[in-house]
């Protein structure tokens, strides 16, 4: 037990500094991938700090070149192999509870995203009030390549990006830099990494939980970054035209076709190839979608669309149902195959089953959104929150 507690504390470093608490994710060799111990420790600390009147804000950052590269999926898979799907469900229950607490936190959370922030790393940052990007930031939700789907409340925050940019990011796993994160709203501020120590010092001296004051402090060190010439953010017109389509199949058809071509019109294979290769970005996007798990693409698109009309709590509860179905492997074992091919054997050649989009019926996708048929299974039960103690920007998420 003492060894477990020590490991838990080593993986999340705590610094008490005036009115702030600085938490550092400390698994740099694993790119700060979230272990069950880390998630449990963060949940414990955030709950304690909310009740402590001496704590005005929480700063979260990562040690090394990553903020957090995601949940420790390899450990989850090994736990499932050893103890059954419930072992995986327990991990996600705890993780999603932490995500919900952060999304509804009554005090400002400032996440310093100075490096890689992917998957579960977005779950412990995007829900917080302030997300500070730098020139080193790299954002992605790469789950469809693993046979999973954008979880950790991603159906909430991706669906609220401009136009249909969230569908694009969620389905393709596209990587965004700090300037792109700021442009689309994933980041609230952009600060050069050289100025981060000054930002932290100023925040620690702030005797306030007022978001306006906290934001103004960060603003003093901000710069407005320039989008690179080939930024995907300049393709929003194409993204909106294509990723607004109703199904994944229609999204692919739209990508193949020039803007003036009606999607219902047939297109010869050789004509598609001409359109396909004329634009390098479109070609790469199509190839990425073709390599992803067909099942993952379909449940991901449905999830983000449903997320547009749900609050953050409902999104996380639904995603918990979905991830439990994925862990059970009842409808598809793509998650385990994706982890084998990408993370374990690393042959990068997953054998998806079903292998084609057209082989997956809508009724199969419906099952991922239903309750798990297991008498001992329960829906997600996140920490109880009182609306009377929450600021307006938090209540709006509910």
Q: Which of 88, 119, 120, 147 is catalytic?
A: 120
Active site residue 276: no
132 forms bridges with which residues in the sheet? 112, 189
Q: Which of 72, 143, 177, 319 is catalytic?
A: 143
User: Going residue by residue through the chain (398 aa), what tens digit of pLDDT does each one get?
Assistant: 545 555 667 999 999 998 999 999 999 999 999 999 999 999 999 999 999 999 999 999 999 999 999 999 999 999 999 999 999 999 999 999 999 999 999 999 999 999 999 999 999 999 999 999 999 999 999 999 999 999 999 999 999 999 999 999 999 999 999 999 999 999 999 999 999 999 999 999 989 999 999 999 999 999 999 999 999 999 999 999 999 999 999 999 999 886 655 544 444 444 454 454 558 899 999 999 999 999 999 999 999 999 999 999 999 999 999 999 999 999 999 999 999 999 999 999 999 999 999 999 999 999 999 999 998 899 998 888 877 678 888 888 87
Report how far Cα 149 is from the mean position of its chain's Cα atoms: 9
Cα diameter, the chain: 67
Q: Which of 62, 70, 71, 128 is catalytic?
A: 71
Domains and their CATH numbers in the chain = 10-257+276-384 (3.90.226.10)
Nearest to 136 by CA among 169, 189, 177: 177
Sheet holding 189-190, edge to edge: 12-17, 20-25, 57-62, 109-113, 130-133, 189-190
- Torsion over CA: 389, 42, 92, 68 (sign): positive
Q: Which of 72, 79, 95, 151 is catalytic?
A: 151
pTM of the model: 0.93
Give CA–CA dist 398/396, Å, rounded: 5
Active site residue 219: no
Who's near 13: CB < 8 A, 6+ residues apart?
23, 24, 26, 63
Helix (H, G, I), strand (E, B) or coil at 332: coil
Q: Is 358 exposed, middle or buried (0-12, 13-18, 19+ CB in 10 A)?
A: exposed
């Amino acid at each position: 037990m003492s060894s477990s507690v020590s490991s838990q504390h080593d993986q999340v470093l705590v610094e008490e500094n005036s009115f702030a608490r600085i938490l550092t994710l400390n698994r740099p060799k694993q790119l700060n991938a979230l272990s069950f111990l880390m998630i449990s420790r963060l949940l414990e600390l955030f709950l304690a700090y909310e009740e402590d009147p001496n704590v005005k804000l929480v700063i979260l950052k990562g040690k090394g070149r990553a903020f957090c590269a995601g949940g420790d999926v390899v450990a989850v898979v090994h736990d499932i192999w050893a103890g059954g799907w419930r072992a995986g469900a327990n991990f996600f229950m705890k993780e999603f509870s932490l995500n919900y607490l952060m999304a509804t936190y009554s005090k400002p959370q400032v996440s310093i995203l100075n490096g890689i922030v992917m998957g579960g790393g977005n779950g412990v940052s995007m829900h917080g009030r302030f997300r500070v990007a730098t020139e080193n930031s790299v954002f992605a939700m790469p789950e469809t390549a693993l046979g999973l789907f954008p979880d950790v409340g991603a159906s909430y925050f991706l669906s609220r990006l401009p136009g249909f940019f969230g569908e694009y990011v969620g389905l393709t796993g596209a990587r965004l830099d700090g300037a792109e994160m700021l442009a689309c709203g994933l980041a609230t501020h952009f600060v050069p990494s050289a100025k981060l120590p000054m930002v932290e010092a100023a925040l620690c001296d702030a005797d306030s939980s007022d978001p306006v004051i906290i934001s103004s402090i960060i603003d003093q060190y901000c710069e407005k970054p320039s989008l690179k010439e080939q930024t995907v953010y300049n393709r929003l017109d194409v993204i909106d035209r294509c990723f607004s389509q109703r199904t994944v199949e229609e999204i692919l058809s739209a990508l193949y076709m020039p803007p003036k071509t009606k999607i219902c019109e047939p297109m010869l294979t050789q004509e598609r190839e001409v359109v396909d290769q004329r634009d390098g970005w479109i070609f790469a996007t199509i190839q990425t979608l073709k390599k992803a798990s067909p099942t993952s693409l379909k449940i991901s698109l449905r999830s983000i669309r449903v997320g547009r009309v749900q609050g953050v709590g409902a999104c996380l509860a639904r995603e918990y149902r979905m991830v439990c179905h994925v862990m059970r492997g009842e409808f598809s074992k793509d998650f385990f195959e994706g982890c084998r091919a990408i993370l374990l054997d690393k042959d990068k050649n997953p054998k998806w089953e079903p292998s084609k989009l057209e082989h997956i019926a809508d009724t199969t996708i419906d099952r991922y959104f239903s309750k798990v048929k297991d008498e001992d299974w329960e829906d997600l039960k996140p920490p109880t929150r009182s609306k009377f103690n929450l600021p307006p920007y938090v209540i709006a998420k509910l």
